[in-house]
Amino acid sequence: MSGLELFSLKGKCALITGASGYLGSAMSMALAGAGAHVILNVRQFSRGETLLKSIEACGGSAEILELDVCDERAVQDYFSHKFPGALHILINNAYNGKGGTIESSEAQDYLAAYQISMAASHNIFRAALQALRRAVQESGNASVINVGSMYGLVSPDIRIYDSPVSTNPPFYGAAKAALIQWSRYAACEFGREGIRVNSVSPGPFPSTSVQNQSPDFVSALASRVPMGRVGQACEIAGPILFLASPASAFVNGINLPVDGGWTAW
């Protein structure tokens, strides 16, 4: 297999949750650019339209799936009745939350973060399991990629945040840590079937709006990175493409930090 073929996703079907977000869009573009048909999961159809048009303008193939991943019954119905084919790549990227500190957080905040990050990923994986197994039968393996966070590995440096409301919250990191551990467990349970499960843990990837509106905060983030800068959305594409493609055929159960060295200090 040539170098280009190692990273080709031609003929593969990929589903990514949280597809329209800052990093989700970059992941989706990368998958489509490598030849996959990408199912863009969003909660509202309108949120995926711009991304869909961008993919199609570049010659890629995609469709929008309007679905709340926290609705277990809707997720099960989709895979039971509307998705009869093979799913080669599943990326669990959905998250929606707020800021906070331990002192300012309520128990419900932890439950909400766990629901969308951990429980929803578990539910969508179980619902998609037969489709993933069909992919194994068709092409030899399937790849599941769970998007964790460097804050599932280390604590935020709360000194760089202006207020509790703007601080990366403890319930976010706790939920992401759970997802990283779940990924290891799933890798051990399903690896023998040819279903590989890995996680990636993005580091400081402030959105374009944050970079434009809060340069001092971005500079503070950059000062914590051994490379001396924050990440740009396009820089998540390579790690995702690697884990999704045949190039990582014997990679299973890892957590890949994409953080410029933040967690290496």
Radius of gyration of the chain (CA): 18
Predicted local distance difference test score (pLDDT) of residue 2 = 63
SS3 140: coil
Residue-level pLDDT at 97? 86
Q: Can you give the pLDDT at residue 5?
A: 86
Chain centre to alpha carbon of residue 50: 19
Q: What is the pLDDT of residue 27?
A: 98
Residue 194 tokens read as 């040819």
Pairing of strands 13-16, 89-92: parallel
Please report, in tens digits, the pLDDT of each residue of the chain (265 residues total). 666 689 999 999 999 999 999 999 999 999 999 999 999 999 999 999 999 999 999 999 999 999 999 999 999 999 999 998 999 999 999 998 899 999 999 999 999 999 999 999 999 999 999 999 999 999 999 999 999 999 999 999 999 999 999 999 999 999 999 999 999 999 999 999 999 999 999 999 999 999 999 999 999 999 999 999 999 999 999 999 999 999 999 999 999 999 999 999 9
Task: Report the pLDDT value the prediction gives residue 214, as an integer from 0 to 100.
Answer: 95
Residue ranges covered by each domain of the chain: 3-258
Quick one: pLDDT at residue 228? 98
Q: How far apart are CA 249 and CA 74, in angstroms?
A: 32
3-state secondary structure of 208: helix
Instruction: Read off the tokens for 155.
Output: 């604590």
Q: CA nearest 137: which of 184, 198, 85?
A: 85
- Going from the C-alpha of 149 to that of each of 45, 181, 223, the distances in angstroms are 26, 12, 18
Long-range contacts of 219-224 (CB under 8 A, 24+ apart): 220/160, 221/160, 224/157, 224/160, 224/262, 224/265
pLDDT of residue 239: 98
Pick the CATH number of 3-258 from 3.30.413.10, 3.40.50.720, 3.20.20.10, 3.40.50.150: 3.40.50.720
